């Protein structure tokens, strides 16, 4: 089923528990956690202790997006801290197959992320092994950026491959998702839509998540 994943990057970190409770009230079932190391991307965010604390206050699925140069070292640490699923950038992973299998061997779902300039074709020999693919619709590093429409073509390509090869991976999108582009994103074949500033920057994050979830479900119904 299609899901809206609020990204805590745009939450108030001094009131993180309260902000998470708001999106839970709005019906979110998954939470997106952006980890940045100041090397792979020009920004720093949070580490395993925050994931561990968040794990203690919510049962939502924790979707951890690693924007770091050394995913092999840190993916296991985030799983131990409570991540249910971890995605690593194709551009950062040196031994992607090994990394994906290691994440899965620890009982977590493994995702691979593509930057805007990286084509879908590079995933040809790993798609059968991954649980999800995350398409960046902005250059990673900051919330609140403008959606790059070419991401839609990449989602369509992935969805086509998924159908042709009868694969089961989910497709996720991250960056610049809002009310206006949501229908088109779902109709392109996307399952999980990350939304940060549009949710936590709104006056009522619970209502925003609920509305976006409804729009996404309507778009799915219209697709079939
Ligand atoms: C960028 C992040 C963001 C974020 C979503 O590195 O991954 O894409 O979570 O932020 P918004 O929804 O504000 O673009
Ligand atoms: Zn992200």
Please confirm, yes or no, whether 34 is among the known catalytic residues. yes
Residue 49 · residue 13 · CB < 8 Å = no
Sheet of 3-6: strand order equals: 3-6, 192-195, 170-174, 132-136, 109-114, 85-89, 61-67, 30-36
Q: Give the distance (Å) from ligand 2 centre to CA of residue 7.
A: 7
The domain segmentation of the chain, as residue ranges, is 3-223
Cα within 13 Å of Cα(190), Cβ side = 28
Atom of ligand 1 nearest to the CA of 32: 9
Q: How far is the CA of 35 from the centre of ligand 2 (A)?
A: 8
Walk along the chain (224 residues) and give the pLDDT tens digit of each residue: 999 999 999 999 999 999 999 999 999 999 999 999 999 999 999 999 999 999 999 999 999 999 999 999 999 999 999 999 999 999 999 999 999 999 999 999 999 999 999 999 999 999 999 999 999 999 999 999 999 999 999 999 999 999 999 999 999 999 999 999 999 999 999 999 999 999 999 999 999 999 999 999 999 988 76
**Rounded distance, CA 58 to CA 25, Å?**
12
Query: Is the distance from the beta carbon of residue 6 to the nearest atom of ligand 1 less than 6 Å?
Result: no
| Binding site membership of 175 for ligand 1 (Cβ less than 6 Å) | yes
pTM here? 0.98
- Three-state SS for the chain is CCEEEEEHHHCCHHHHHHHHHHHHHCCCCEEEEEEEECCCCCCECCCHHHHHHHHHHCCCEEEEEEECCCHHHHHHHHHHHCCCEEEEECCCCCCHHHHHHHHHHCCCEEEEEECCCCCHHHHCCCHHHCCEEEEECCCCCCCCCCCCCHHHHHHHHHHHHHHHCCCCCEEEEECCCCHHHHHHHHHHCCCEEEECHHHHCCCCHHHHHHHHHHHHHHHHHHHC
Atom number, ligand 1, closest to the C-alpha of residue 41 = 6
Cβ of 87 closer than 6 Å to ligand 1, yes or no, is: no
pLDDT of residue 223: 77
User: Which CATH class for the 3-223 domain?
Assistant: alpha beta
Do 200 and 14 contact (CB within 8 A), yes or no? no
pLDDT tens profile 62-93: 999 999 999 999 999 999 999 999 999 999 99
Pairwise CA distance, residues 67 & 88, whole Å: 7
Q: What is the pLDDT of residue 101?
A: 98
pLDDT at 224: 64
In this structure, what is the dihedral angle of CA atoms 90, 119, 166, 184, given to the nearest 10 degrees?
Answer: 110
Ion ligand 2: residues, Cβ under 5 Å? 34, 65, 174
How many C-beta atoms surround the C-beta of residue 77 within 10 A? 13
With tokens 């140069």, the residue in question is 69
Q: Which atom of ligand 1 is nearest to the CA of 144?
A: 13
């Amino acid at each position: 089923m299609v899901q809206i994943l609020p990204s805590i990057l745009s939450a108030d970190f001094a009131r993180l528990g309260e902000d998470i409770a708001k999106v839970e009230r709005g019906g979110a079932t998954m939470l997106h956690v952006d980890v940045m190391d100041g090397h792979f991307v020009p920004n720093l965010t949070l580490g395993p202790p925050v994931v561990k604390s968040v794990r203690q206050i919510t049962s939502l699925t924790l979707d951890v997006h690693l924007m770091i140069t050394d995913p092999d070292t840190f993916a296991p640490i985030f799983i131990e801290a409570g991540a249910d699923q971890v995605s690593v950038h194709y551009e950062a992973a040196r031994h992607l197959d090994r990394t994906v299998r290691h994440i899965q061997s620890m009982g977590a779902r493994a995702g691979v992320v593509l930057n805007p300039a990286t084509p879908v074709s590079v995933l040809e020999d790993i798609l059968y092994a991954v649980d999800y693919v995350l398409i960046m619709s902005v250059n990673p590093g900051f919330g609140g950026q403008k959606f790059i429409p070419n991401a839609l073509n990449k989602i369509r390509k992935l969805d086509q491959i998924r159908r042709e090869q009868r694969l089961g991976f989910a497709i996720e999108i991250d960056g610049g998702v809002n009310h206006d582009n949501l229908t088109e994103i779902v109709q392109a074949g996307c399952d999980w839509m990350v939304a940060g500033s549009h949710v936590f920057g709104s006056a009522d994050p619970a209502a925003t998540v609920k509305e976006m979830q409804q729009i996404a479900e309507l778009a799915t119904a219209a697709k079939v």
